[in-house]
Structures are given as structure tokens and as C-alpha cells.
Structure 1
Amino acid sequence: MFDDFWAASRYSVLHRRRLGERLRDFRPRPPLVDPLELPSAPVALPRPGGRLQKLFQARRSTREFADRPLGDRQLGAVLGALSDNSYPSAGGLDPLRCYAFHDGRAVRYDLRRQALQDIGAAPPDLAEILGTPSAPPLAIVLVLADGESFEKYGERAGRFGLVEAGAAAQNICLRLAELGLGGHLLGGVADHEVLHALGLPRELRVATAIACGHPIT
């Protein structure tokens, strides 16, 4: 049944165009009192501080980037946000895989060895595949190879995989904020086209993708 959900929510370039029409016509409802609000008076808590809180406050969704690639140290720091058990994985099965389009190439990031493996040239229509105005300097793609997870957890594995991908994406976004870089989650990548560009089979799931780069100052 999770496969049915995934197929129903899968995107292509055509789907994204239809979404654009839907977003154009959408009108948010006026703000109302939260129906889940309780009648009791709220009790204020001390506001947190510290380095992590500053990173939360610094994180922004940046959609325009300067036309220059990330250096090796920056690239290693951003992708390194996924290493060293920095996010939870149900049962320690580690279904999450990381790929990227960087500097005109498609690459695989090996989380354990902190290393890149070249796949080939990035497709010329990368921007259309990602749903961005132009190809970003770096596009990180998080993929779920979750067959073993479904064998162990059944349909619940679908939720576990999305939780894992979300935690990993947050790590990347916080690292971008720490380095003074920009980025934003891509909600409309064309699933099959991305997998094809990375040389991956269609059975895998594109959990999310993140556009990254130097913000325009």
C-alpha cells in the first residue's frame, strides 16, 4: 500500500506544471483560532540559547545562488553532515543513500568513506528535472533503498524512511547555515528522471533533494 501512495505522489515534469497551476490558483484561508487550542492559560518557558539555537535562527530558504561552485572543503563539510551516525535509522538498516549534481557532474557520496564517486555528466536539462529556474551549483539528492526495511517493518517502513530522510535533510540545512551558504528543499523533482540521470533503477525512492550554493550578496 505504501507503494501505491508513493506512485500517486510521484512527480514528472508534467505533474510539476499542473502543480504550478494549482499553486497559482490557491488562496490561503484567513488565520483563525487553532481548533486544537486548549482553554487553559499557557505557561511560558525560558527561551533557549546557545550555538545550535543560533543555527536554527540563521537557516533560511535561499533560492538564488551566485554562479560559482563550492570548494572541496565546503563540499566535504556539507556532505559530511550525513556521516558519523548524525541522524537516526530504524533498526540500523541505513536505507538512505546520497547522490549529488555538482560542477556539471553526477556523483555518488559514500557516507562511510567521506568520498565521491563519479557517475557521469549531469543532464543538460537538469534545471527542468529539479524544477529550478537554473541548475544550482550543488543539488543533493537523498534516495531510499528501503527493500530490507519493508521486509523487517512492513508498511511502517515507509514512515521510518521519511523520518530518516527528513532528519538527514535538516542536518544538511543546518550545516549550510553554519557555513554561510544557502539552500532550499526541492519539493517537485521529477522522480524517474532524477533516478535515470544518476544511473539508478526506478524501484528506488527519491526522498527529497536540496539545492545549495553561495547566496547572492
Structure 2
Amino acid sequence: MFDDFWAASRFSPLHQRRLGDRLRDFRPQQQLIDPLELPSPPTPLPRRDDRLQRLFRARRSTRDFAGEPLSPTQLGTVLGALSDNSYPSAGGLHPLRCYTFHDGRAARYDIHRHALQDIGPSPDDLADILGTPSAPPLTIVLVLTDKDSFAKYGERAGRFGLIEAGAAAQNICLRLAEQKLGGYLLGGVADNEMLHALSLPRDLRVATAIACGRRIT
């Protein structure tokens, strides 16, 4: 059944255009009171103002990037946010895989060896695949290879995979903030076109992609 959900929510360039129309026409209803607010008075909690909390506040979704690519040191620092078992994985199965488009090349990031393996040139239509006005200096793509997860956990594995991808994406976004770089999660990637661009089989799942680059100050 999770496969049905995934197929129903899969994106293509046609879906991207339809989503653009829907976003253009959407007008949220203003709510003066949270419908889940309770009648009991709230009890204030102490708030920390340490380095970690400041890093949380520094994270922003940034869409405007300078044109130049990240340096090798910056690239290694950002991708290193996925190493050292820094995010949870159900059953220790680690179905998450990472790929990049950077400086005109597509590559596989080996999380355990902290190394890149070249795939080939980035596709000319990368921006169309991502659903962005132009291709960002760095795109990080998170893919799930979750057959073992479903064999162990059944349909619940679908949730576990998305939790893992979300935790990994947050690690990357916090590292971007710490490096004073910009980034934002892409919710409208064309699934099959992305897998084809990375020479991957269609039975894998593109969990999310993150556009990254130097912020324009």
C-alpha cells in the first residue's frame, strides 16, 4: 500500500506545472486562534541561548545563491553532516543514499567513506527536473533503497524511511547554516527524471533534494 501512496504522489514535469498553478492560486485562511489550543493557561519554560540554539535560529530557507560553486572544503563539510551515524536509522539498516550535482557533474556520495564517485555530466535540464528557475550551485539528492526495511517492518518502513531522510536533511541544513551557506528543501522534484539523471533504477525512491549555495548578502 505504501507503493500506491508513493506512486500517487510521484511528480513529473506535468505535475510540477500543476503544482505551480495551485500554489499561485492558494490563499490560506487566517485563523485568529489555534483550533487545538487548550483552555488551561500555558506554563512558560526556560529558554536556552547556547551555540546550538543560535544555530537553530540561523537556519533559513534561502533561494538566492551566488553563481560560483562551493569549494572542496565546503563541499566536504556539508556532506560530512551525513557521516558518523549522525541521524537515526530504523534497525540500523541505513537505506539512505546520497547523490550530488555540483560544478557541472553528477556524483554519488559514499557516506561511510566520505568520498565522491563521479557519475557523469549534470543533465542540461537539471533545473526542470528540480522544478527550480535555474540549477543551484550544489544539489544534494537523498534516495531510499528500502527493500530490506519493508522486509523487516512491513508497511511501517515507509514512515521510517521518511523519518530518516528528514533527519538527514536537517543535519545538512544546520551545517549549511553553520557555514553561512544557503539552502532549501525541494518538494517538487520529478522522480523518474531524477533517477534517470543519476543512472538509478526506477524502483528506488527520491526522498528529497536540497538546493545549496553561497548566500547573496
Identity %: 78
Q: Which SS does the other structure have where 1:140 is aligned?
A: strand
Measure how far apart 1:32 and its partner are: 3.1
Q: Is residue 113 from structure 1 mapped to residue 127 from structure 2 by the alignment?
A: no
Measure how far apart 1:215 and its partner are: 0.8
Q: Is residue 57 from structure 1 mapped to residue 39 from structure 2 by the alignment?
A: no
Cα deviation digits, residues 85-125 of structure 1 (max 9, x gap): 10000000000000010100000000010000000000001
Measure how far apart 1:35 and its partner are: 1.8
1:12-91 map, 5 Å: 12-91=12-91
- The match for 2:185 is 185
Output the CA distance in 1 between the equivalents of 2:13 and 2:52. 37
Measure how far apart 1:64 and its partner are: 1.0
TM-score, length-scaled by structure 1: 0.99
- The match for 1:126 is 126
1:167-182 map, 5 Å: 167-182=167-182
- The match for 1:154 is 154
Output the CA distance in 2 between the equivalents of 1:135 and 1:35. 40
- How many residues get paired? 217
Moved segments of 4+, more than 4 Å: none
Which residues of structure 2 form unaligned runs of 5+? none
Output the CA distance in 1 between the equivalents of 2:46 and 2:9. 40
Q: Is residue 93 from structure 1 mapped to residue 89 from structure 2 by the alignment?
A: no
Q: Is residue 194 from structure 1 mapped to residue 188 from structure 2 by the alignment?
A: no
Output the CA distance in 2 between the equivalents of 1:209 and 1:162. 13
Output the CA distance in 1 between the equivalents of 2:95 and 2:20. 31
Cα deviation digits, residues 163-212 of structure 1 (max 9, x gap): 00000000000000000000000010100000000000000000000000
Q: Which SS does the other structure have where 2:43 is aligned?
A: coil
Q: Which letter does structure 1 place at the counterpart of 2:38?
A: L
Q: Which SS does the other structure have where 1:117 is aligned?
A: strand
Which residues of structure 1 form unaligned runs of 5+? none
Q: RMSD across aligned C-alpha pairs, in angstroms?
A: 0.6
Q: Which SS does the other structure have where 1:207 is aligned?
A: strand
Q: Which letter does structure 1 place at the counterpart of 2:112?
A: R
Output the CA distance in 1 between the equivalents of 2:174 and 2:55. 6
